[in-house]
Amino acid sequence: MVHSLKPQTWLVLYLLSVVAITFIHTPVVLAALLGAAMFGAGRHVLGILRQTLLATIAFNLTVSLGYVVISLWQANFRGEYLLLVNIRVLLLVFMGFWLVKSVDLLDALSRFPLLRLIATLAISQIKTFERILRDFRMAFQSRNLRQPKILDRTRHAAAQAHTLLDKSMASANQAALAMRSRGAFDD
C-alpha cells in the first residue's frame, strides 16, 4: 500500500492527519499513533526517530521547563498536559520527517506550480547551507589535529553563524530584487 499511493495522495493524507492530530487530547491515543507511525516507517524508523529527537529536544525542553515553572508558580501543574504536548510534537515532527523521507515533495506539489517553486527555492537554500556547514566542518577538522578547546569551538560556531547570516541576507536581497523586477511589490 505504501508504494501504491501517489505523492499527492501522501501529501493530502499527511495534511489531514496533522489536522486530525490537533483534535486528539489523550496522550495514550497519541502514543499509540506514534507507535503506529514508527511501525509504518519500517526500516527507516531509527533514522527518522533520531532526526525527530534531535530536532525537537531544544523546543520540548524549553516549553516543558517553561510550563513546569509557570504552572508550579500558579499551583496548576498537570503532568498529563505536559505529556500530551510533548507526544504531539514528537508525533507531528516524526510524521514530517517520514513524509520527506518517503515522498518526493516536488512531485507531490506538481499540480501547484507556485508551491512547487517555493519548495524548489527552499530545497536549494537548504542544500546551499548544508554544503557551507559541511565545508566549515571539514576545514575545522583539518586545522585541528587534537580535540579543540571549547573557546575554539565557540569561535568556529560564531564564524559559521556569521557566514550563514550573510549568505541568507544576500540571498534574500537577491530574491527581493528579482521579485521587484517582475512586479511583485507593485501596489
- CA–CA separation, 26 vs 45, rounded Å? 23
pLDDT above 50 for 110: yes
Q: How many CB atoms lie within 10 A of CB 34?
A: 20
The stretch 15-22 carries a mean pLDDT of 96
The stretch 63-79 carries a mean pLDDT of 92
- CA–CA separation, 18 vs 101, rounded Å? 17
Higher pLDDT pick, 85 / 117:
85
Contacts of 55 (CB under 8 A, 6+ apart): 93, 97
pLDDT above 80 for 185: no
pLDDT of residue 184: 66
pLDDT above 90 for 122: no
Which cell numbers hold the place of 164? Answer: 550563514
User: Which run of H or of E encompasses 183?
Assistant: none
Q: Where are the alpha helices (DSSP H) in the chain?
A: 7-22, 27-41, 45-73, 79-102, 105-108, 113-143, 150-181
pLDDT above 70 for 3: no
pLDDT per position as a tens digit, 25-64: 999 999 999 999 999 999 999 999 999 999 999 889 999 9
Q: What is the largest CA-CA distance in the chain?
A: 58
pLDDT per position as a tens digit, 157-179: 888 889 888 888 888 888 778 77
Task: Give the N- to C-terminal CA distance of the chain in Å, as an integer.
Answer: 49
Give yes or no for a contact between 86 and 60, defined as CB atoms under 8 angstroms apart.
Answer: yes
Q: How does residue 1 score in pLDDT terms, banded at 50, 70 and 90?
A: very low
The stretch 94-121 carries a mean pLDDT of 89
Q: Which of 8-17, 20-29, 73-82, 155-164 has the lowest mean pLDDT?
A: 155-164
Note the pTM of the prediction, 2 decimals.
0.74
